Amino acid sequence: MPENDPVKASQKGGARIVKVPSVAKRKLGHDVTDPVRLDPRVLEKMQDTIKGLESKYAEILSEQVTRLIELSDPAANGDARSAADLYTIAHDIRGLAGTFGRPLVGRFANLLCTYIEGHDKIGPLENSIIRFHVEAIREALKNPDSDPNLASETLRALENLIMATLNQNRLAG
């Protein structure tokens, strides 16, 4: 094998050992260290801790959804602080909901973040679409065991709505 070949092979007792280069090192450079393997007992303790925090997170999430509703009208009326807070809360939900057993809530929050990221300002149309997202988040929170087909269709409808408004904005210039 050539010296500069990224796949290095050696023969040991009739077996060929192939060392495949690390994807992380290729993307992040050779200074990156490989992840440390966790002791299974530590991992179990972490999972138990997360399970214990799930009920507290449900309360926080409910408060965050209420706050999203409160912020949407001021944001639509041009209040930049409300718009920034609305995005920050949606971003927090997007990042944490799946960790605490609410993946559907996280997916709706992700769509909301995507929508907000695609708009410089929030006006009445954007406010309506934001409210659709917030209502979907609230519904997913209240009914975590809802019909997965209905949830998928709602996600798809919101994605289509986002794409339509982004295309409309591009055409408007």
Residue of 124, 122, 55 lying closest to 90 (CA atoms): 122
* The model scores a pTM over 0.75: no
Closest among 41, 84, 81, 69 to 130, alpha carbons compared? 69
Is residue 140 within 8 A of residue 102, CB to CB? The reply is: yes
Give the closest residue to 129 by CA, choosing from 161, 151, 107, 82: 161
Q: Which two tokens stand for residue 33?
A: 């260290």
pLDDT digit string, tens, across residues 66-116: 999 899 888 888 888 998 999 999 999 999 998 888 899 999 999 999 888
CA distance 75 to 69: 10
The model's pLDDT over 121-170, given as tens digits with 9 standing for 90+, comes to 777 778 888 888 988 998 888 888 888 888 889 999 999 988 888 777 77
